[in-house]
Amino acid sequence: MHYYEFMIALNILDIKKFMSAFLIGSLFDDYLLIESQITTFCTFSIDGRLEKLFGAEGGSDAEETAKNRDASEDQGADYVRWSAVREKCFSVIKGKHTPLFFKFVFFFPPEKLREFLNKTDSPLLPQQLGGLCLNLRFDGTNLFLTTGLSLKVFSPDRELGRAWDDFVRQLLIDHDILVSEM
């Protein structure tokens, strides 16, 4: 059983700047992509779970696939890194027309989780967390970023959630991305 808590919702004010950092830059490259849905002329869905057998038989994409899979697996991840699918998503989104809708669900990189917990003085252990989440949603006009926390145990402590919210705010400030809180 997991306990989910959603903390803050941010309205991205400069969508073009954010999308550039997100799709062309490396804003979330080391984050794990849990799932994605992009609606343009049709709907494209991505389940970010790594398929361990894909690329094992060789072929033209085998080397790149193995590299991306191995980089994620080395960190104990069951999901693909954003950097491994970013260009594919960019190719779906780019064009003359704005997408009708998209959403992306990310988890904070697992190899950075222990360090993050230590900085927050959280009593929680990495194995007690399902993940620190980022949910990105575009409704055709507005772009929203929501933070979330998934716990495998119940905890009345709210410091970790506040620290995660502050971290995300600072990440956006560091990339000069203007937001308003909802």
Question: Looking up tokens 């794990």, which residue turns up?
Answer: 32
Query: What token pair was written down for 147?
Result: 């933070």
- Tell me how far apart the terminal alpha carbons of the chain are, to the nearest angstrom: 29
The continuous run of DSSP H or E covering 178 comes out as none
Identify the DSSP state of 79: B
**157 contacts: CB under 8 Å, gap ≥ 6:** 122, 123, 124
- C-alpha dist (Å) from residue 30 to 62, 77, 87, 101: 21, 11, 14, 24
Residue 167's nearest CA partner among 90, 108, 89 is 108
Containing domain of residue 21, as a range?
A: 3-181
Record the pTM. 0.85
Residue pair 8/166 in contact (Cβ under 8 Å)? The answer is no
Tell me the C-alpha distance between 57 and 49, whole Å.
19
The values of phi and psi at residue 54, to 5°, are: -65, 135
Give the total number of structural domains in the chain. Answer: 1
Tally Cβ neighbours within 10 Å of residue 98.
11
What pLDDT does 73 receive? 47
For the chain, 182 residues long, give each residue's pLDDT as a single digit of tens. Answer: 667 776 899 999 999 999 999 999 999 999 999 999 999 999 999 999 998 877 655 555 545 555 554 444 444 579 999 999 999 999 999 989 999 999 999 999 999 998 999 898 888 888 888 899 999 999 999 999 999 998 888 877 788 899 999 999 999 999 999 999 98
DSSP for 116-141, please give it. Answer: HHHHHT-S--GGGEEEEEEEEEE-SS
Residues written for the chain: 182
CA distance 124 to 122: 5
Largest CA distance in the chain: 51
Q: What's residue 20's pLDDT?
A: 96
Instruction: Give the separation between CA 35 and CA 38, rounded to whole angstroms.
Output: 10
The pLDDT value given to residue 11: 98
